[in-house]
Amino acid sequence: MEMYKNYKGKHVVVVGLARSGVGAANLLVRLGAAVTVMDVKGADELAKYIAQLDPSVTIKLGHHNEEIIDTADTVVPSPGVPLTIPILERARQKGIRIVGELELAYQVLEELRKTGAAGFMAITGTNGKSTTTTLLYEILIHSGFNAIIGGNIGKALTEEINKLVKDFERPREFVSPEYIVTEVSSFQLESAEKFKPKVAAILNVTPDHLDRHNTMDEYLEAKCRIFQNQDQMNFLVLNADDPLTPKIVEKVKPMGPEILYFSRKKQVRGAYYAKGIITFNIPELEVLCPELVVHEIPVFHTNNFKIKGLHNIENAMAASLMALVSGCSVADIYSTLTTFKGLEHRLEFVEEVDGVKYFNDSKGTNIWSVVKSLEGFEESIVLIAGGRDKAGDFSPLKDLIKEKVKAVVLIGEAAGKIKEAVKSITEVHMASSMQDAVTKSKEIAGYGDIVLLSPACASFDMFRDFEERGAIFKEAVLRLPGDRTVMDVAIAGN
C-alpha cells in the first residue's frame, strides 16, 4: 500500500503531544514507522498523554531538538503547533516532508478507500462547528448509516482510524464506515494537501485566531482550503448571510463543487428560514440524488427543536443540507432535529437560582460567537467575559451590549481591554476569579434576568481549556445559595 512506502521503516517526528499528537504517533507506529514525539512542555504537564503513547515511541520533552529533526524523513505537527516555528522552518529548509495530522488521517483512509472506505463530511467556520458536526453525525446515525465522528471536536481522526483498523497488513478486512464526519479548524486546514471531502461546509468566517494567522485574508485562505480539491461530484455548503461568502465563492475553481446556501434573511438555493420555518429550495435535488425522498416534510417548524438561538437555526440548516445530499431522508433529518439537545459549554443551561437563569457558553471564545449568543436572548443579561485576548476587536459587541446587557463582569488578561471598549455603555465590574465573577453576577442580576458566561476570549490565562472554564463556572453556580427551579431542557449553541 502507498502509505507503507511513506512511513514503513521511516523516522517520523511528531511535534506537539496533546490529543492529536498521541493519535498520530500511535497510528504511525502501526504503519511501521520509528516515531519520536517532541514537545516544549515538560513531563508533568503532559503526563496523561505520555501514558497513552505506544511504548515504542521515543519521547523528547522540554525543547525542540534540531538534531532529531535533521534525522527525520517526515515531520507531523499537531494542529496547535504554528507552522512558522523555527523547528518546522528548519525542516522545510532541509527538504523534510511535513504532513499535518488531518492530512495523515485522510491519506491513510484514502488508501483504505480502495477497499471501500468512507466519504468525508467536513465542517469548518469560526463558530458553530462542533454543534453542526455533532448534529450531522446524529442525523446520519438516525438514518441508518455507519458513520464515525472526529477531528477538532475532541477525538483525533488518527485515533479513530486506529480503533477501526485491526490489521493494516490486511486492508481488505477493514470494515468501512460510510461516512467520516469531521470538524476541521483553520489550524488543521493550513497543512491540508490532498484532503478532499465529499461534502464540505463553511458556516461563517469572522475575526478569530489573528494571533496566529496575522490577517483576515490569511485566516480566510486557511478556511477555503477545505474545498481546494473538490470537484463537480462534491458539495459545498455556505452561509449566504456571511459578508465574506462572496470572497469564498470567488475562490471556488471552475468545475468545482456544487454550492448550496443557507440563510436567515432571504430565499436561496438550499435552505432558508423565515417566521419559525425552515424551507428547502433545491429543485434539482431529485436529479442530483435520485434516491432521496424529498417531499415527506417540505418545511421544518423550528419551534419543535430542542436547541435554541438564531445561530442554531443556521447550524440546523447547514447540517440538514449536508445530510440531504448524503442520502438522508427529510423525515429522519427532522426527527433528529426535534430530539437533539446540543453540546456542553455551548449556551448550556446550568440552573435557575432566585429566578435568575445561568447559562454556560464557555465555548464562546471569540467576539462573533458572543454576538450570536446575545442575539438568542430577549431577557436582560449579566455577561461574564474575559480571558486571553486573541487579537480581537471588541467593538462589534457594543451595540448588542447596549441593547441587552445590564452589566458586564470581567475576568482574565483581557479584562482591561474589554472594559475600555464597553465602559461607556454599560455597568462594568472586575472579578478576580470565576467564583468571584459568579458571586458578583448574582448580586447584580434581578428576577427574570440571565447570567451568561460567554467570554469572547481564550481560556489559557486562567484555565486548562474552555471545558475546564465551563466546568468551574457550573460548579460556582451550583454552590450559590438561593431558591432553585429545575428546568428539563438543555439549550446549546456554538
Torsion region of 389: left, alpha or beta (phi above 0 gives left; psi -120 to 50 gives alpha): beta
**Number of neighbouring beta carbons within 10 Å of residue 194:** 10
- DSSP conformation letters of 164-209: H-S-TT-GGG----SEEEEE--HHHHHT-SS---SEEEE----S--
- Strand-pair partners of 11: 34
Residue 158, annotated as binding a ligand: no
Residue 36, annotated as binding a ligand: no
Read off the C-alpha cell for 41.
512542555
Cβ-defined contacts of 83-88 (< 8 Å, 24+): 83/190, 83/191, 87/15, 88/15
Residue 127, annotated as binding a ligand: yes
* CA 115/CA 439 separation, integer angstroms: 58
C-alpha separations of 294 from 141, 282, 361 in Å: 19, 9, 35
* CA 467/CA 476 separation, integer angstroms: 14
C-alpha separations of 426 from 374, 419, 455, 469 in Å: 15, 10, 16, 24
Read off the C-alpha cell for 68.
532529531
Q: At what angle do helices 330-337 and 129-142 cross, to 10 degrees?
A: 130
Residue 131, annotated as binding a ligand: yes
* CA 423/CA 35 separation, integer angstroms: 53
- In the three-class reduction of DSSP (H, G, I as helix; E, B as strand; rest coil), residue 348 is classed as strand
Return the ∠ at Cα 56 (arms to 51 and 60), rounded to 5°: 70
**Number of neighbouring beta carbons within 10 Å of residue 114:** 11
Residue 128, annotated as binding a ligand: yes
* CA 138/CA 315 separation, integer angstroms: 13
Residue 308, annotated as binding a ligand: no
Return the ∠ at Cα 78 (arms to 176 and 199), rounded to 5°: 40
Torsion region of 143: left, alpha or beta (phi above 0 gives left; psi -120 to 50 gives alpha): alpha
Contact 273, 284 (CB under 8 A): no
Contacts of 108 (CB under 8 A, 6+ apart): 3, 27, 31, 158, 161
Which amino acid is present at 232? Q
Burial of 191 (0-12, 13-18, 19+ CB in 10 A): buried
Contact 249, 220 (CB under 8 A): no
- DSSP conformation letters of 36-55: EEEESS-TTTTHHHHTTS-T
Provide the annotated binding site.
125-131
Provide the annotated binding site for ATP.
125-131
